[in-house]
């Protein structure tokens, strides 16, 4: 009976070892094929492929009715698009389209004329202005560095334009937020990697223009041992964007992910222009992940270094060290951090360079995650999410699909590499274990046979 049990155990062990050999061989083959064929996890997306006004009913209505009959659009508290109009006929058209109409006194043409007058006045560092669609007025902000004389002079300019220009003092100072989601460092300071982009042949980091001029060398560590690349195109002031070309030419694995802290990331699946009232998220290496709302578009900021126009204005906080960091919502890229005032303890105002404008000017395309039907890798990607997706109920809006942050494997241990399912290591470990099991069972059987032989002949020869 004992010998029968031993035979069963040996047979089961041999079968398990043979199964392990087959499984390990399949794992090695799969890992080898994966290393030869890059995964179809990312694709490129240009600014023309964004979900701009096509996915925003309010912006589409504004474009159709024109700047003389409308004064912007935003997302209402209930998530419905609201369009500011100047006459009852336009209001009726908006309502027939399923949006909410709000009749206002001043058209977009008037509001833009007001901002043009402000721009033509002598420049005052520490000021900013934008069009507040919801209140139908132009809001001029001045930080604590603006003197009483400059404030009085700007107030007189505003009074000459009309009562719809609102003057407001604000705390802190408007500064560029030098230093982000994944930190990049140079001799000039620290900034943030925003989004990965490509021209079809080479990959780049899109970040803020004030981070450094063309020729700046960037590293991934404080010691200057891991060179990331060099700034090859920079625009600041006027705009605030730049391109850092990767030293290797390629962004590598995880190019479609932005870091949000704690080793976690968000998959970027498209790009768009945001809507006023939309809930958005910003990530930075100094202050981490924070959220808020878009409060205005086409904002102008007079930084000490110069004036930047066409910015996205938000109430998301940011701090020095967050420059260039990504602004996004539901996995859709919206902007890169430019500057602002305040901090993440007391709050503040932060401005962002729109991604669509930067990509168009730089003639590059965004690297985004390919979203395929049924999860089939390599299938045709779905269109980008609209800019207003989930902008209603704040609880329903998320940064986007979760993804692990990946990067270089220089810091991995040998064990971590061997057990990484993306490598051939796990398959080789299974094969080795199975071979050891087979050899062990053969040895044990041979040893048992030898001992049985000895016992038999010892009794025979007595």
Task: Please check whether residue 154 is in contact with residue 160, taking contact to mean a CB–CB distance below 8 angstroms.
Answer: no
Helix (H, G, I), strand (E, B) or coil at 332: strand
Spatial separation of the C-alpha atoms in residues 376 and 397, rounded to whole Å: 26
- Provide CB contacts within 8 A for 269, sequence distance 6+: 256, 331, 332, 368, 369, 371, 382, 384, 385, 400, 401
Give pTM, 2 decimals: 0.72
Does residue 166 carry a catalytic annotation?
no
For residue 37, give the DSSP letter: S
Spatial separation of the C-alpha atoms in residues 245 and 443, rounded to whole Å: 59
Q: pLDDT (tens digit, 0 to 9) for every residue of the chain, 462 residues total?
A: 555 555 666 666 666 666 766 666 666 555 544 443 334 356 766 654 444 444 678 999 999 999 999 999 999 989 899 999 999 999 999 999 999 999 999 999 999 999 999 999 999 999 999 999 999 999 999 999 999 999 999 999 999 999 999 999 998 888 875 433 577 887 777 788 899 999 999 999 999 999 889 999 998 877 767 888 999 999 999 999 999 999 989 988 888 998 888 888 899 999 999 999 999 999 987 788 999 999 999 999 999 999 999 999 999 999 887 889 999 999 999 999 999 998 899 899 999 999 999 999 999 999 988 754 433 333 223 333 333 333 344 445 677 677 666 653 333 444 444 444 545 556 666 667 767 766 776 666 666 666 665 555 555 554
Looking at 240, 256, 273, 322, which residue is catalytic? 240
Does residue 87 carry a catalytic annotation?
no
Spatial separation of the C-alpha atoms in residues 135 and 137, rounded to whole Å: 6
Q: How far is CA 442 from CA 130, 236, 339, 379, 429, in A?
A: 81, 74, 71, 48, 20
Looking at 41, 192, 234, 323, which residue is catalytic? 323
Does residue 290 carry a catalytic annotation?
no
Looking at 210, 273, 338, 434, which residue is catalytic? 210
């Amino acid at each position: 009976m004992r010998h029968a049990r031993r035979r069963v155990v040996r047979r089961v062990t041999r079968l398990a070892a043979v199964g392990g050999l087959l499984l390990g061989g399949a794992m090695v083959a799969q890992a080898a094929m994966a290393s030869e064929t890059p995964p179809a996890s990312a694709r490129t997306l240009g600014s023309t492929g964004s979900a701009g006004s096509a996915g925003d009913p309010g912006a589409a209505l504004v474009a159709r009715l024109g700047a003389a009959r409308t004064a912007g659009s935003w997302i209402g508290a209930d998530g419905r698009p609201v369009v500011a109009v100047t006459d009852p006929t336009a209001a009726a058209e908006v309502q027939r389209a399923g949006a909410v109409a709000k009749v206002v006194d001043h058209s977009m043409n008037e509001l833009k004329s007001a901002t043009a007058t402000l721009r033509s006045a002598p420049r005052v560092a520490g000021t900013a202005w934008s069009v507040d669609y919801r209140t139908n007025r132009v809001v001029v902000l001045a930080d604590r560095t603006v003197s009483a004389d400059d404030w009085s002079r700007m107030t007189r300019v505003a009074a000459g334009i009309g009562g719809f220009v609102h003057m407001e003092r604000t705390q802190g100072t408007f500064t560029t937020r030098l230093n982000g989601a994944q930190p990049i460092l140079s001799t000039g300071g620290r900034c943030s990697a925003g989004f990965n982009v490509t021209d079809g042949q080479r990959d780049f980091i899109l970040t803020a223009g004030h981070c450094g001029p063309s020729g700046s060398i960037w590293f991934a560590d404080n010691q200057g041992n891991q060179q990331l690349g060099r700034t090859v195109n920079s625009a600041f002031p006027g705009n605030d964007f730049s391109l850092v070309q990767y030293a290797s030419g390629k962004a590598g694995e995880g190019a479609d992910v932005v870091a949000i802290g704690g080793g976690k990331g968000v998959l970027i699946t498209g790009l768009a222009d945001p809507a006023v009232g939309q809930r958005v998220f910003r990530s930075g290496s100094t202050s981490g992940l924070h959220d808020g709302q878009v409060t205005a578009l086409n904002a102008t900021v007079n930084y000490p270094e110069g004036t930047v126009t066409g910015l996205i204005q938000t109430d998301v906080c940011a701090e020095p060290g967050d420059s260039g960091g990504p602004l996004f919502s539901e996995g859709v890229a919206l902007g890169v951090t430019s500057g602002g005032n305040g901090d993440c303890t007391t709050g503040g105002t932060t401005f962002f360079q729109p991604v669509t404008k930067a990509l168009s000017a730089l003639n590059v395309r965004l690297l985004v995650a390919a979203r395929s039907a049924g999860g089939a890798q390599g299938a045709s990607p779905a269109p980008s999410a609209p800019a207003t997706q989930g902008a209603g109920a704040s609880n329903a809006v998320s940064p986007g699909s979760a993804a692990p942050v990946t990067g270089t494997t220089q810091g991995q241990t040998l064990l971590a590499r061997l057990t990484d399912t993306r490598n051939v290591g796990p398959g080789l470990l299974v094969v080795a274990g199975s071979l050891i099991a087979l050899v062990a069972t053969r040895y044990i059987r041979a040893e048992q046979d030898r001992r049985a032989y000895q016992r038999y002949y010892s009794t025979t020869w007595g």
